[in-house]
Amino acid sequence: MAAEVNIYCDESRYSNPEDPYLVIGAVKCLRGKKREIVGELNAIKRQYGIGGEFGWKSVSKNKRDFYKAVIDWFIGCDDLLFRCVVVNKKNLWSADDEDGFYVAYHQLLYHWLATNSTYHIYLDKKKNSAKRRVETLRGKTELRMPDGCCLACMEEVESHECALVQVADLLIGCMGYEWNEHTEPMRFPDASPFKAELCAHLAHRLGRPSLHFSTWASESKFNVFAFGE
pLDDT at 48: 97
pLDDT at 147: 85
Strand spans (E) along 125-217: 149-157
Task: Return the amino acid letter for 48.
Answer: Y
pLDDT at 15: 57
pLDDT at 63: 94
pLDDT at 96: 63
Calpha distance 194→61 (Å, rounded): 6
Confirm or reject CATH 3.30.420.10 for domain 3-227, answering yes or no. yes
pLDDT at 130: 65
pLDDT, tens digit (0-9, with 9 covering 90-100), for 47-92: 999 999 999 999 999 999 999 999 999 999 999 999 999 998 887 7
Domain limits of the chain?
3-227
- Residues lower than pLDDT 50 in the chain: none
C-alpha closest to that of 97 among 135, 128, 127: 128
Greatest CA separation found in the chain? 54
**Using CB atoms within 10 A of its CB, is residue 7 exposed (0-12), middle (13-18) or buried (19+)?**
buried
Query: ∠ CA 76-82-83 to the nearest 5 degrees?
Result: 155
Calpha distance 189→198 (Å, rounded): 17
